[in-house]
Amino acid sequence: MLNQSALAEICCTHVTNRYSEGSMKEAREYQKSPHYEVSDRCVWADLSLFCSELKNKAKCLDAFYKYQIVTPILGCGNIGMAIAKGIVFAKLVPAQNVTITRRSNESLERFEKENKEGLKATRDNVAAVKAASILILAVTPQTLNDLLESIKSEIRDDHLIISVISGAEISDIRKRIGNDKAEVIRAMPNTAIAFRESMTCLAAADGKSPGLQTSKQIFDSLGSTLVVSEDQMVPATALCACGIAFFLRAIRAAAQGGIEIGFHSEEAIKLAAQTAKGAAELLLSGDSHPEREVDRVTTPQGCTITGLNTMEHNGFSSAFIKGIVTSAEKAAVLYKAKKAKENAQE
């Protein structure tokens, strides 16, 4: 059985050198040759699907990896489903290569009715893992250990495991599966992932882990990413995950002010939300600082500076800062309590 690199080189050589003119007949003959092997870890798309569009080796490699990636999302709730739809929408992985797993027949039936993307679905985590190259763990923290126990015999050294489970350390996952060679990446998206606007923090045991690049590619298609050290994942929870609620509350407060000055509720929320989105874009689309942008809309004795100073006199910035700090402190306490409980059960 050829390994991934050898398969890629064969694919590159045959497609770029022999099929540059788009010979479908030769492509299909190649599929029947001894060089064309289908391993447990991947499902090849028909070579003829992409041989005519590849112009060079780099594109060939990119297409090869895209079509051979099989990605099950184990425990596909809201976050898992958003990831599945996002990677298909971004054309990182074909829909037929994405499998979601759910525990009950009811949830599977509900999924089948809503499945417009052509994703696969199953209750069998073990079967999904056998065919996989990338595993995305998206179960609840309470069911993680049971899941890992059920699939650990199928974990291979060449698997890339991406966990979006809050509080699950890389070392704990490796210990549960009994494998310290498989790459494990932690990812912490937020609920805006449903609209491909998540701020996702990524961490690996080794900052140079090759799996980080693949993980970035996945989550960059669902918003933005930042690679952090694993010990920063807890404070990142407060700023990015809990932060969604903080900014929503700020938008709600702005909308309440809008109602008081004469707008209907729906109008005020739309005005406040779009204004917040625009303010964020001023920073994300350029190399600017919040105060620089504030200075651009304030004038001496103007209405903007009057409003800002009133907010500051009433503790706006200090309350926001304190909220994030105490949220991070609480997250750390909850995490330590969870670890202590797990250690007591072992």
Tokens representing 172 are: 């704990």
Q: Which amino acid is at 91?
A: K
Tell me the three state secondary structure of residue 132: coil
**Cβ pair 25, 51 in contact under 8 A:** no
pLDDT at site 315: 97
In a 13 Å sphere around the CA of 277, the CA atoms on its Cβ side amount to: 8
- Which residue positions in the chain have pLDDT lower than 50? 1-28, 30-32, 34-61, 63-67
Domain ranges of the chain: 4-64, 69-228, 238-325
Q: Is there a common fold for 69-228 and 238-325? A: no
pLDDT at site 233: 94
What is the Cα–Cα distance from 14 to 51, expressed in whole angstroms? 9
Residue 51, judged by CB atoms within 10 A of its CB (0-12, 13-18, 19+), counts as buried
Q: Does domain 238-325 have CATH number 3.90.1150.10?
A: no
69-228: CATH topology is Rossmann fold (3.40.50)
pLDDT at site 346: 67
**Cβ pair 328, 235 in contact under 8 A:** yes
For residue 34, give every residue at least 6 positions away whose Cβ sits within 8 Å of its Cβ, in sequence order, or none.
none
pLDDT at site 69: 67
